[in-house]
Amino acid sequence: MTKYSLDGKVAVITGASGGLGEQFAHGLAESGANLVIAARRMKLLEKVAKEVETQYGIKAVPLQVDVRNENDIVRMVETAVSDLGTLDILVNNAGTYIVKPLIEQTLEDWHTVMDVNLTSAFIASREAAKVMIPKKSGSIINISSTFGFGGTEFPEVSYYTSKGGMVAMTKALAVELGKHNIRVNAIAPGFFPTEMSKGAFADDGIRTRMIEPRTALPMFAENEWIRGALCFLASDDARYITGHTLAVDGGWLAY
């Protein structure tokens, strides 16, 4: 990966105990950022923290956080400031989904997905802005999805809605916070073989019917390939980009 200049920056990543969140931690650490990595699974966070500290010589603070809890999110941002001095980069990555037909989806299902995927990003962005506005700098990066741009055969209406909401929120915050020199962008990953989506790759029908026909490039993604997009958007190389959603999907949305 091209090493973007993030030396001395402080980043907070939610959902960082595995999947793309773990990749984001490696990418930002390789570029020189110190990290607060947050999730519910503390043992996995400690493993990621040790890896990035050893490999890249940065400081990583693992923090057990349930993003459905407002107080946990407030504490997460406070920890970045108290332990690492400030907050420059926020990555709203925590996510979940519930696959059920519409008529079987409960209100609790809906709230669970919305709280994790969208409401947590709103709260974290609000708290991060309190740190970033006074110093007139910062980068917020929301992790949406190609599913935020349309439906598929997977019956998970709350997931599509939450990820579409991330795209809209990204634009709204970019406009509101732009005057403070705070950039807000999003990444819309396609199918990556993470813990969350490995079932899709294991299903021959889904792979050959949904993924392969709409992947323009002649290969499936590797999880590490998401790192560069995040580090670019976090860096000064993207200083004039805000309100944008970058699809990293092998051309899936081009169809």
| Cα 22 from Cα 18, distance rounded (Å) | 5
Q: Which H or E element spans position 77?
A: helix 70-84
Any idea what DSSP says for residue 85? S
φ/ψ of 15, rounded to 5, equals: 60, 40
* Annotated catalytic residue 240: no
Annotated catalytic residue within 56, 159, 240, 255: 159
Is residue 64 within 8 Å of residue 39, measured between CB atoms?
A: yes
CA 147 to chain centre: 14
List Cβ neighbours of 246 (8 Å cut-off, separation of 6 or more): 185, 186, 187, 188, 229, 233
Please list the active-site residues. Answer: 159
